[in-house]
Amino acid sequence: MVFGFGKARHRELTPGELAQLLRDDRALVVDVREVDEFATGHIPGAVNLPLSTFQTSQLPDAGGRTMVLNCAAGRRSAMALERCAMARSEVDTHLAGGFGAWQAAGLPVER
């Protein structure tokens, strides 16, 4: 975390890093894409909280796991992380490249 002046930096995970965390039950994925996008395919076990209605108060309990936000390419998850930072939430991690990068890595997709 960066203190003082300047823009806060968010932690980014690669698809492979996230896949390993999920295998070890050490991550919970929150997908901020819209409901119709989520329905076409998502990371197995992901929870859908669309950015259009995103509120940090609605984030699920991660049960001690790292909460990782994702979207299609990384832009909307970064926007959601900004909202988390403004709400002083501890959520600070997202998937680099989003669901597109997850698919490109050949990782499992749930429909």
What six digits make up the tokens of 84? Answer: 């988390």
Specify the fold of 11-104.
Oxidized Rhodanese; domain 1 (3.40.250)
- The pLDDT tens digits for 19-65 are 999 999 999 999 999 999 999 999 999 999 999 999 999 999 999 99
Q: pLDDT digit string (tens) for 57-91?
A: 999 999 999 999 999 999 999 999 999 999 999 99
Using a 10 angstrom Cβ sphere, with 0-12 exposed, 13-18 middle and 19 or more buried, the burial of residue 34 is middle
The residue ranges of every structural domain in the chain are 11-104
Q: How far apart are CA 111 and CA 105, in angstroms?
A: 17
CB 58 within 8 A of CB 48: no
